[in-house]
Structure 1
Amino acid sequence: MQRPDNSEFPEVYSKYIQLVTTTDLLPIWDSYTHVMAEFFASIDEAKHDYRYAPGKWTIKDVLLHLIDTERGYSYRAIVCVRGDSFTPLYPMDEDLFASNTSTAGRTMADLLEEFKIVRAGMKKIFEYATEQQQMFKGNGVNGAITGRALGYIAIGHALHHKNVIEERYL
């Protein structure tokens, strides 16, 4: 899965795509997943429910946000690779999602298991999609977007949150 060019996604996503340093994402999808899983697993348990400021998410909340967001990216990606240019692809309201969930009672191990499952499901979308299918543009309400762009966005979005945790939580 080759790096998307700027015509394949709205500008708002460029910050995530720029964080992905590889030009061919699919062969190293698992290593990006492993890096994220190892990162979260390495965080001291005493920090799992830490908030760096009032009203901010805990580290477990951030991981659940990644899980929820990647489910949304997966849906958008399948719509794109199946050639559906009609269905509007709305962004999710991350604050709404976060206000309607709780990580209380969930362990980091449980969240990481779910993260890996969601990632594996998204990988399957791309494994058998042809390059042409990866280039189909979906009807993103913020602008047209390709399936392969969504793959890069998913990885970059997770890396963005890893950077935030390293800077503000640890």
Structure 2
Amino acid sequence: MNRPQPNEYPIWAETYIHKVNQNIFELLEEQAISIPALFRRNKEKENYAYAENKWTVKEMLGHIIDCERIFAFRITCFSRNEKQPLPGFDENDYVANARFSERNYEDLIEEFATLRKANIYLFRSLNDEEIHRAGQASGREINVKSILFVTGGHIMHHVEILKERYHVV
């Protein structure tokens, strides 16, 4: 599947979409394994934040889980030809209200792994027509293909931050 064209997504999505330089389905499946492994290797840093008022590693994982759910919901809606606009979300408010710091770290890791594996069934079930359907989310038009790329690229973005600022290995 080719990378989405700029007319298929809003400008905010470009950062994530352009990180994906491989088959999107292979990337999504690889992340189902590599992301849990990354967080498991860094358990001792689960409560670490690189600066005051920045998310901890555990909160970053929680944010990734929230976004995985939201992106999959948008894909479901738009692939099913939903015509109603979908709301946006403020990731900082979501993390602040999620109580991730109270959650078990291993449970969060398993939650992501399970969620991604389930979402792959949805993603792989989409036909060409469904992949090109679009809808409105956060006040902007975006198609299903673009959201698939955002799903993979968003995690790549956070892995870069984890490596650069949190010094995860």
Fold shared, TM-score > 0.5 on shorter chain: yes
In the alignment, which of 100, 111, 116 is matched to residue 114 of structure 1? 111
Question: Residue 91 of structure 2 is aligned with which of 94, 97, 116?
Answer: 94
Structure 1 match to 2:56: 58
Give the CA RMSD over aligned residues: 1.5
Distance (Å, rounded) in 2 between the aligned partners of 1:2 and 1:79: 22
Size of the aligned set, in residue pairs, is: 167
Q: Give 1:2 deviation, angstroms.
A: 3.8
**Cα separation, 2, equivalents of 1:3 and 1:40:** 28
Matches within 5 A, 1:1-170: 1-22=1-22, 24-43=23-42, 45-84=43-82, 86-170=83-167
4+ residue segments displaced more than 4 Å? none
Superposition TM-score, scaled by structure 1 size = 0.91
Q: For structure 1, list consecutive stretches of 5 or more residues without a partner in the other structure.
A: none
More deviation in 88-97 or 61-70? 88-97
- Output the amino acid matched with 2:121: K
What TM-score results when the alignment is normalised by the length of structure 2?
A: 0.91
Q: Residue 127 and residue 104 in structure 1: after superposition, are their counterparts in 2 closer, same or farther (change >3 A)? A: same
| Change beyond 3 A, Cα 1:103–1:75 | same
Corresponding residue SS for 1:20: coil
> Tell me, what secondary structure is at the counterpart of 2:61?
helix
**How much does 1:108 deviate?**
2.7
SS at match of 1:89: coil
| Structure 2 alignment gaps of length 5 or more | none
The percentage of aligned residue pairs carrying the same residue is 28
Q: Distance in 2 between matches of 1:41 and 1:34?
A: 11
